């Protein structure tokens, strides 16, 4: 009985510690830049394990130092209801499940908020545990952060190439300019890589990438600038 009570007490403290640290981290990142993400560390470990030089280019910049077209491009590409939902797009999730059941093209139903929660706080490998934690952190950031802040963290943290993370790094390495100077076409091309930035390159785009860029630019006509939507 003593052992059982000790285990129960330990479990209670673990739960309390988890909620305290997770909520504190979300509140801190409401204002502070995210210096590194779990995926960045995982990629570095993979590079070291393969005997390669560590590749990590990441430079945080505020949202107003990023081209106004990049939020529009990623919303057009990844989550067209970003400004409307509260973290979860149940229509997109339902469509993804239906396509999977019918044997069609499989796609994710994750919103930009979900991707941000996963990128900043969790690991990339899918599992029921990670999905549950992803939902928890998505709710937290939707409650504690503005849509502007979610977009700012997303654009600074997401993987955009081999060892490239965030808008400023990809702008400098692939386009030879600052993130604030990216053109509408540049932004659409970056957004076109996001489903798989290690396979698709915004520096050397394939014919498929250029077609997808064109589609995204058409979608961008129907999406207002982030500050107007806010």
Instruction: Report domain extents, the chain.
Output: 60-229
Closest among 178, 176, 174 to 189, alpha carbons compared = 174
Give the mean pLDDT of 201-224.
Answer: 96
CATH class, range 60-229: mainly alpha
Q: Above 70 in pLDDT, residue 22?
A: yes
Q: How confident is the model at residue 92 (pLDDT cuts 50, 70, 90)?
A: low
Q: How confident is the model at residue 218 (pLDDT cuts 50, 70, 90)?
A: very high
Q: How confident is the model at residue 229 (pLDDT cuts 50, 70, 90)?
A: low
CB atoms within 10 A of CB 75: 23
Where b means 16+ CB within 10 Å and e means fewer, 1-37 reads: eeeeeeeeeeeeeeeeeeeeeeeebbeebeeeebeeb
pLDDT of residue 174: 97
pLDDT of residue 43: 96
Q: Above 80 in pLDDT, residue 14?
A: yes
pLDDT of residue 5: 83
Tens of pLDDT along 31-80? 999 999 999 999 999 999 999 999 999 999 999 999 999 999 999 999 99
pLDDT of residue 93: 67
Q: How confident is the model at residue 6 (pLDDT cuts 50, 70, 90)?
A: confident
Contact between 45 and 54 under an 8 Å Cβ cutoff? The reply is no
pTM reported for the whole predicted model: 0.91
Residue 160, φ and ψ in degrees, nearest 5: -125, 15
Q: How confident is the model at residue 8 (pLDDT cuts 50, 70, 90)?
A: confident
Give the mean pLDDT of 12-41.
Answer: 96
Percent over 70 (pLDDT), the chain: 91
Tens of pLDDT along 103-127? 554 445 799 999 999 999 999 988 9
């Amino acid at each position: 009985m003593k052992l059982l009570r000790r285990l129960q007490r330990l479990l209670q403290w673990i739960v309390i510690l988890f909620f305290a640290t997770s909520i504190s981290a979300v509140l801190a990142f409401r204002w502070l830049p995210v210096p590194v993400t779990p995926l960045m560390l995982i990629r570095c470990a993979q590079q070291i394990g393969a005997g390669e030089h560590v590749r990590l280019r990441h430079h945080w910049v505020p949202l107003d130092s990023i081209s106004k077209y990049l939020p529009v491009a990623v919303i057009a590409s990844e989550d067209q209801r970003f400004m409307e939902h509260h973290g979860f797009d149940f229509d997109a999730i339902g469509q993804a499940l239906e396509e999977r059941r019918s044997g069609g093209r499989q796609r994710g139903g994750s919103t930009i908020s979900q991707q941000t929660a996963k990128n900043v706080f969790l690991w990339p490998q899918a599992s029921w545990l990670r999905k549950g934690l992803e939902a928890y952190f998505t709710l937290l950031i939707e409650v504690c952060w503005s849509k502007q802040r979610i977009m700012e963290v997303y654009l600074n943290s997401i993987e955009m190439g081999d060892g490239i993370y965030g808008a400023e790094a990809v702008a400098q390495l692939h386009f030879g300019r600052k993130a604030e100077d990216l053109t509408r076409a540049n932004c659409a091309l970056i957004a076109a890589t996001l489903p798989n930035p290690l396979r698709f390159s915004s520096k050397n785009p394939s014919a498929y990438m250029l077609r997808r860029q064109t589609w995204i630019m058409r979608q961008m006509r129907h999406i207002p600038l982030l500050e107007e939507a806010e």
